[in-house]
Amino acid sequence: MAHSFEPRPVSDNARFDFIVVILALLTAFAPLSIDMYLPAFSAIASDYVTDTHHVELSLTSFFFGLFIGQLLYGTATDKFGRKNPLYIGLAIYVVTSVACAYAPDIQWLIVLRFFQAIGACAGIVIARAVVRDLYTPQASARVFSFLILVMGVAPILAPLFGAYITEWMGWRALFLIVAALGVASAVTIHFVLPETRGRRYDVRMRHTGTTYWAVFRDPSFLRYSLTGAIAQSGLFAYITGSPKMFIEIFGLDPTHYSWLFGVNAIGIIGFSQLNGWLLKYHSSRKILNVSLPILAIVSTIMCVMAYIHASFWGILLPLFAYISTLGLVFPNAMAGALAEQQERAGSASAVTGSLQFLIAGLVSAGVSQAGSFTDYAMAWVIGVAGLLAVIAYRVMRRPE
């Protein structure tokens, strides 16, 4: 028998705030798993007697794991509710994080990072679906801005934390720490996070492919989702290529690199909170229509800087502007993608997340390969990503 379930409204302000914080922490598992070990690339390469190029492949495999994993959770969370699939994802994350800590060689680390991502992405899919369960599109854009605020703390603190932990305890301790965080999160979710969507007997797992295809074919969904994914791929190009560019090429030590990473994170945090304020007075669509041209200008400058082989500041300043502008672009693109997907919010969240990380994985691999030909591969890819995002948004606009 078909079963319909209405989301539980969150009326108590303190509880509302705490639930949003929990959702933000769930989405932070993936960036924590990425950012915390970036300063340890050289230590990992030294330990495994390899080069940083092979260590970068462990990041690429993580991105592809996020792509595949989100498709696994989408229909499952629409059918079985939000919390049970989340518990399974966290269990996978904890087990594989411990396994990463004891990986015997770089090949094993690359493979295990793929499965660690399978677990990590449960939080991404389900947190977005819960937001869609509880809030209107306009309100959800404000919540996504807050999610970015908490996620933005990870790039500030995680590389610094990772650098010091690597120096004092070794890089393997990083994976044991995130495993412990996974256990603590599962316990907190059990006692605090409400189930916002009960089991649906009318949702069939065998129809997963059909559901995903229906979501993907929705013109409005595809326009906003593709725009956000392409724009954010510049962030992943930065994550993949910045250790080589700033540590190996510009000569920063890992600690100073971590501070630089944190400064860029402050930019995206600030603009995401500006976005939350702007949403009180303007629609998310209007903000996107203004912020995307800014992204196009910054992307053009980045391409010019790559062409002339600019110095440290010539790269850093447009990079900061690009990362900051994502704080305006991404939450509004995400809200637009999910706005008309109430009955299949979990599936839509999975499709948009998978699209995002498929592009991220391709971009990460591209930066790694292009690094063999130019020291400015990261800057080139970021510049092109921003321009393509603007083009996608304009070309896919439906006639008024």
Per-residue confidence (pLDDT) for residue 4, from 0 to 100: 41
Does this model's pTM top 0.75? My answer is: no
pLDDT in tens, 29-42: 888 888 888 888 88
pLDDT in tens, 55-99: 888 988 998 888 888 787 766 776 667 788 888 999 999 999 999
Residue 251 has pLDDT above 60, yes or no: yes
Task: Report residue 352 as tokens.
Answer: 């948009």
What is the arithmetic mean of pLDDT over 104-113? 94
pLDDT in tens, 112-138: 999 999 999 888 888 877 777 777 766
Task: Report residue 62 as tokens.
Answer: 């993580």
> For residue 215, what are the contacts with CB-CB under 8 A and spacing of at least 6?
221, 341, 344, 347, 348, 351
> For residue 136, what are the contacts with CB-CB under 8 A and spacing of at least 6?
none
Please, are residues 197 and 356 in contact by the beta-carbon 8 Å criterion? no
> Angle 386-391-395 (CA atoms, 0-180°, nearest 5)?
155
Residue 141 has pLDDT above 50, yes or no: yes
Q: List the single range of 5-19, 227-241, 244-258, 280-294 with lowest mean pLDDT.
A: 5-19
Task: Report residue 337 as tokens.
Answer: 């993608």
pLDDT-above-90 percentage for the chain: 19
Question: What does the alpha-carbon distance between residue 115 and residue 80 come to, in Å, rounded to a whole number?
Answer: 22
Per-residue confidence (pLDDT) for residue 3, from 0 to 100: 42
* 206 DSSP 8-state letter: G
Residue 5 has pLDDT above 70, yes or no: no
Residue-wise DSSP of 277-322: HHTTTS-HHHHHHHHHHHHHHHHHHHHHHHHTT--HHHHHHHHHHH
Q: Which residue has the higher pLDDT, 2 or 288?
A: 288
3-state DSSP call for residue 151? helix
Confidence class for position 13, pLDDT limits 50, 70, 90: very low
Question: What does the alpha-carbon distance between residue 397 and residue 400 come to, in Å, rounded to a whole number?
Answer: 9
Q: How far apart are the first and last CA of the chain?
A: 41
Q: List the single range of 43-52, 118-127, 144-153, 287-296 with lowest mean pLDDT.
A: 144-153
Please, are residues 194 and 16 in contact by the beta-carbon 8 Å criterion? no
What is the arithmetic mean of pLDDT over 158-181? 89
Residue 6 has pLDDT above 60, yes or no: no
Q: List the single range of 44-58, 169-183, 217-231, 386-400 with lowest mean pLDDT.
A: 386-400
- φ/ψ of 84, rounded to 5, equals -60, -45
Per-residue confidence (pLDDT) for residue 30, from 0 to 100: 82
Per-residue confidence (pLDDT) for residue 9, from 0 to 100: 44
- Domains in the chain: ranges and CATH: 14-193 (1.20.1250.20), 204-399 (1.20.1250.20)
Please give the mean pLDDT across all residues of the chain: 80
Confidence class for position 1, pLDDT limits 50, 70, 90: very low
Per-residue confidence (pLDDT) for residue 344, from 0 to 100: 65
Please, are residues 303 and 357 in contact by the beta-carbon 8 Å criterion? no
Q: Which residue has the higher pLDDT, 396 or 148?
A: 396
Confidence class for position 177, pLDDT limits 50, 70, 90: very high
Q: Which residue has the higher pLDDT, 114 or 251?
A: 114
> Angle 220-285-393 (CA atoms, 0-180°, nearest 5)?
55
> Angle 388-295-331 (CA atoms, 0-180°, nearest 5)?
90
Q: What is the CA radius of gyration of the chain?
A: 20
pLDDT in tens, 293-343: 999 999 999 999 988 988 889 999 999 999 999 988 988 887 777 776 666
